[in-house]
Each structure stands twice: as structure tokens, then as C-alpha cells.
Amino acid sequence: MKATELLELTVKELEERIDNEKNILLKQKLNHAISPLDNPQKIKETRRNVARLMTVLRQKQLNEKSND
């Protein structure tokens, strides 16, 4: 997921992706607790994707406020 792709998304699409990524992260953590994942770096990658999405969402929200 590239930053340029994220900037093109609407606020609603960003919120949906954040929810989806958070669900994936939760499932990965639970699966890792039960039996170790083949690649535990996936958890780190997913967590960073959530942070990246939330950052872009916040930027869009601030831009909307400043434009009003």
C-alpha cells in the first residue's frame, strides 16, 4: 500500500480499511498466541499499515477543517 494510493481514497474508504486492518491484526495476534506464525513480521507490517492509514485519515480531516 503506497502513500499516493492512500491519498486518493475518501474518508469513508479510509475508515473501512482501518477497520479491516485492525480485524486482521487482531486475528494475527490471536493466531500467534496459539501457535507461532511462520512470519511474525506480518504483525509488525499490519500494525504499521494501520498507523499509516490513521495518519492519512487525520491529515484529510485537518484539511477539511482548514478549508471551512
DSSP 39-68: -THHHHHHHHHHHHHHHHHHHHHHHHHHH-
Band of the pLDDT at 65, cuts 50, 70, 90? confident
Flag whether pLDDT at 68 surpasses 90: no
Nearest to 18 by CA among 46, 42, 53, 52: 53
Per residue in 8-63, pLDDT (tens digit) is: 999 999 999 999 999 999 999 999 999 998 999 999 999 999 999 999 999 999 99
